[in-house]
Amino acid sequence: MADNDHADVVRLPFERAIEELESIVKRLEEGKVPLEESVLIYERGEALKRRCEELLRLAEARVEKITLDSSGKPIGTEPLDVK
């Protein structure tokens, strides 16, 4: 299925995307979904996973750590070095 078939996914907030992704995982794990539907919801799950990863990357880029002076008082912020 093409990415444009999941165009609505790019507008979902993180919480809604992860909720739907968890629902898809649960349905697939139960094994009661017909094969064709399994393929379709798996593909949607992939789109949702990419959306969640994108939103997490954006949030991570906005996170800053507080810098302290020698006495331990906050003096500013700097980008968080995530490795």
Look at residue 5 and tell me whether its pLDDT is greater than 90.
no
- How many Å apart are CA 30 and CA 39, to the nearest integer? 14
**Higher-confidence position of 57 and 17:** 17
* Distances in whole angstroms, Cα of residue 62 to Cα of each of 23, 24, 55, 67, 72: 29, 29, 11, 15, 23
- Give the residue extent of every domain in the chain: 3-79
Residue 1 in this model has a pLDDT that exceeds 90:
no
Note the pLDDT tens digit of each residue in 44-72: 999 999 999 999 988 877 777 777 788 88
